[in-house]
Amino acid sequence: MFQDTSSDFAILTRSTIETKETIKWEDGNEYPLVKLEVSSASHPFYTGKQHVLQSARQVDKFRERYGK
Share of residues in the chain with pLDDT > 90 (%): 3
Residue 63: pLDDT band with limits 50, 70, 90: confident
Q: Which H or E run contains 33?
A: none
* Residue 52 confidence (pLDDT) above 60: no
Total domain count, the chain: 1
To the question of pTM greater than 0.75 for the whole model, the response is: no
* Tens-place pLDDT, residues 5-20: 778 787 777 888 888 9
Task: Place 4 in a pLDDT band, splitting at 50, 70 and 90.
Answer: confident
Domain of residue 25, residue span:
2-66
Sign of CA dihedral 29, 24, 37, 10: positive
